[in-house]
Every structure is written in C-alpha cells, then in structure tokens.
Amino acid sequence: MSLAQLKILQEVITLTIFVPFVIFYMDQPLKLDYLWAALCILGAVYFVFRS
C-alpha cells in the first residue's frame, strides 16, 4: 500500500471508531456533518484505491 492509501485507511478507521463513541458514550446527537464527512472519506477512498 502507498502512503496515501494508508493515510486514507487511517481516517476511515478513525471515523468508524469516533462516531459511535461520540453518539453512545458522550451522548451527543448524530449530526448531518457526520454524513458529509463520511461521504467525503468515501470519495477519497474511491479515488485513492481505484488504480
């Protein structure tokens, strides 16, 4: 894996852990910003891993 792929993978793992932690442990509501962040990360995953 390239350095860019590893960095994007790190961000995906971080959001996968952080969002449920914020919702369940910190008792914060789910925000629309989380959806936009997830869509941006999915776009980054697509472009970094497509070749």
How far is the C-alpha of 23 from the C-alpha of 8, rounded, in Å?
23
- 14 close to 36: Cβ distance less than 8 angstroms: no
How far is the C-alpha of 29 from the C-alpha of 40, rounded, in Å?
20
How far is the C-alpha of 20 from the C-alpha of 30, rounded, in Å?
9
Question: pLDDT tens, position by position, for the chain (51 residues)?
Answer: 899 899 999 999 998 998 899 889 999 898 898 889 889 999 999 999 997
Q: What's the whole-model pTM score?
A: 0.72
Q: Where are the domains positioned within the chain?
A: 3-49
Per-residue confidence (pLDDT) for residue 19, from 0 to 100 = 86
Per-residue confidence (pLDDT) for residue 7, from 0 to 100 = 92
